[in-house]
Chains A and B, each alone.
Chain A
Amino acid sequence: MSKPIITLKHVYKNYGDTNVLHDINMTLEAGKFYTLLGPSGSGKTTILRTIGGFVTPSSGDVLFDGQRINDLPANKRQVNTIFQDYALFPHMDVYDNVAFGLTIRKTPKEVIEKKVLRALKLVQLSGYEDRSISELSGGQQQRVAIARALVNEPQVLLLDEALSALDMKLRKEMQVELRDLQQRLGITFLFVTHDQEEALAMSDEIFVMDDGKILQSGTPVDIYDEPVNHFVANFIGESNIVPGKMLSDYRVEFVNKVFECADAGMKPDENVEVVLRPEDLDIVAPDAGKLVVTIDTQLFRGDYYEVIAYDDDHNEWLIHSTNPTKDDQRVGLFFEPEDIHVMRYGESEQAFDARLETYED
């Protein structure tokens, strides 16, 4: 594990009676790409602003490289922010915008010029120095904002919904570019988004937030495969979530049937929730399936068919199938024991991790 660059310890933020951040603990290591993922109002931007120096926590500590920086103003911190609306200065041209931070630090003119040109080259905007901000497209403005931040050589770059103002195609391009840029520069990125696809695609590690709390953190794969609770399972990817009962280790009952599964460490007969991802469900002949359902509707999504079916107990099942089906057809659904993910009610991330330790090697 490389050394932590940013650490938040028991950070709370209250505005009057409202609790915006609740006991936030997180550690960011140098050189990784992190994402804060959550719905709007979940507190992710507040965390970003706390690190950037625009919000002072009500209690708890913010550490930078081991030093407490709670009271250090934004203009003294070695982190830079890309704002959602880019916040480019409209009365300055591209060059002056990018040079702003350096001129503040009274850097010699030749050095500024060299660094600005290099930063603009980095974001593929060489030759745009004299353009005014209003002449630029959204994507170009985004790049100027990135160059303006990077030219100061920050150790951590904070990106606040940085891509949300761009259209779909450009956004996908910028995702690749940002990831690439982060790897080349080797600095830490903390990216805030409400778009789960974006988070899964770009991050080394994701923090899923809701209601001022971090619900789960981990690699995209961990979070996708083993969501800690209903909220995370629902927010990340699509899922079928049904109530069930854990009969004993590795045996779970749902929709009135008993299935073999890969989870353990719960009380006997404990009530649980069961997650089955739609792409893990295979449509097979009725007698080959573990469940029998009737197809209700299907939508063609380009790379797959989104199928909605009902079992005989009227539970709805969402299935992603590569092949088309027929409406009202009775089919079987097949899935492996590992495809079943069991979640306990109200289990915290720590308890979840501890339980996993007991039976995973």
Chain B
Amino acid sequence: MTKKTKWFANGYLTLVFVLLYVPIFYLIMYSFSTGKTMSHYQGFTWAHYVALFQDARMIQIALDTLLLALLSALIATAIGSLGALGIYATKKRQTRNALLSLNNILMVSPDVIIGASFLIFFTFLGIGLGFGSVLMSHIAFEIPIVVLMVLPRLQEMSTTMIDAAEDLGASSWQVLSRVILPAIIPGILAGYFMAFTYSLDDFAVTFFVTGNGFETLSIEIYARARQGIDLEVNALSGILFVFALLLVVGYYLLTQYTAKRQKAGVKRP
């Protein structure tokens, strides 16, 4: 690249990054403002954070959201990893492709469709709306991403490695536990992680299938945002931003770690 285009490129990128981050920092900035609206910054205060931490209802919702994400991701990872193994073991190409297409339907479906169809489904079966229906829905839309994170790891794995393990006397259970699982652990971790963030992020599906009894942070923010500006929400966004930052760093370190481990091998104790 010439110097001129380099200047242009850097300028352009700077602009995009500013566009991406200004709204977020704008939000966080006003969480420290003594005013009541998101205009005319009026001096520093922790008041909104204090209010947030004294808001027992908000704390309860946050904990519920976290529990929902951890639990649904755990179950989805278990089911999805086994599903990936199943798809991988399918010898017939057509069956495998058909399974994959079915798997991806929930990945590409708009959330309103998922939400509406699950709502019909639960009503049809007479399942009451609440934590249970939300948990099932979250597990359901998290499974395909787990499969998509695990399957490439399985496909990258050299098939002769499995043959070799069998050749050396390993039973199918031993092949799974001692050769396949160690090879796909990074995919399973990444799958859990993605499932977790999907759950935290979800609004639309939860909006459809939650009754009156159960709320997540997304639902609560929506309800409050419809009523106008509430700087307690800004304080919440500040906390969530730090949380997201930690997650990103954690994820980055995790991928670095597994990449390194793959490269350097694990030392025998």
Asked if A75 and B170 make an inter-chain contact with CB atoms under 8 angstroms apart, the answer reads yes
Asked if A104 and B265 make an inter-chain contact with CB atoms under 8 angstroms apart, the answer reads no
Indicate if A108 sits at the interface (CB-CB under 8 A).
no
Asked if A91 and B265 make an inter-chain contact with CB atoms under 8 angstroms apart, the answer reads yes
Contacts of A77 in B (CB 8 A): 167
- A74-B160 contact, Cβ under 8 Å, with A89-B179, A93-B267, A135-B265: no
Task: Kindly identify, within residues 52 to 98 of chain A, every residue whose CB is under 8 Å from any CB belonging to chain B.
Answer: 52-54, 73-77, 79-81, 83-85, 87-93, 95-96
Contacts of A73 in B (CB 8 A): 166
Contacts of A88 in B (CB 8 A): 161, 164
Asked if A81 and B164 make an inter-chain contact with CB atoms under 8 angstroms apart, the answer reads yes
Listed stretches A125-133, A226-234, A281-289; interface member: A125-133
Contacts of B178 in A (CB 8 A): 100
Indicate if A257 sits at the interface (CB-CB under 8 A).
no
Asked if B169 and A83 make an inter-chain contact with CB atoms under 8 angstroms apart, the answer reads no
Contacts of B174 in A (CB 8 A): 104
- Cβ-neighbour of B265 out of A80, A83, A85, A93 (below 8 A): A93
Give, as a whole number of angstroms, the nearest-CB distance from B98 to chain A: 19
- Cβ-neighbour of A130 out of B261, B263, B268 (below 8 A): B268
Asked if A101 and B158 make an inter-chain contact with CB atoms under 8 angstroms apart, the answer reads no
Give, as a whole number of angstroms, the nearest-CB distance from A300 to chain B: 41
- Cβ-neighbour of B168 out of A80, A95, A131, A135 (below 8 A): A80
Asked if B168 and A132 make an inter-chain contact with CB atoms under 8 angstroms apart, the answer reads no
Task: Kindly identify, within residues 329 to 351 of chain A, every residue whose CB is under 8 Å from any CB belonging to chain B.
Answer: none
Give, as a whole number of angstroms, the nearest-CB distance from B94 to chain A: 14
Number of interface residues of B (CB under 8 A): 25
Contact with A along B115-138 (1 / 0, CB 8 A): 000000000000000000000000
30 contacting pairs across A/B (C-beta < 8 A): A53-B167, A74-B167, A75-B166, A75-B167, A75-B169, A84-B160, A85-B160, A89-B161, A89-B179, A91-B182, A91-B261, A92-B266, A93-B266, A100-B165, A100-B178, A104-B168, A104-B169, A104-B170, A104-B171, A105-B169, A129-B268, A130-B267, A131-B265, A132-B265, A132-B266, A133-B265, A134-B262, A134-B265, A148-B164, A149-B167
**Apart from A89-B182, A130-B268, 13 more pairs, CB < 8 Å:** A53-B166, A73-B166, A81-B164, A83-B160, A85-B158, A87-B164, A88-B161, A89-B164, A91-B183, A91-B261, A100-B165, A149-B167, A152-B168
Give residues in A with beta carbon < 8 Å to B: 52-54, 73-77, 79-81, 83-85, 87-93, 95-96, 100-101, 104-105, 129-135, 148-149, 152
Give residues in B with beta carbon < 8 Å to A: 158, 160-161, 163-171, 174, 178-179, 182-183, 261-268
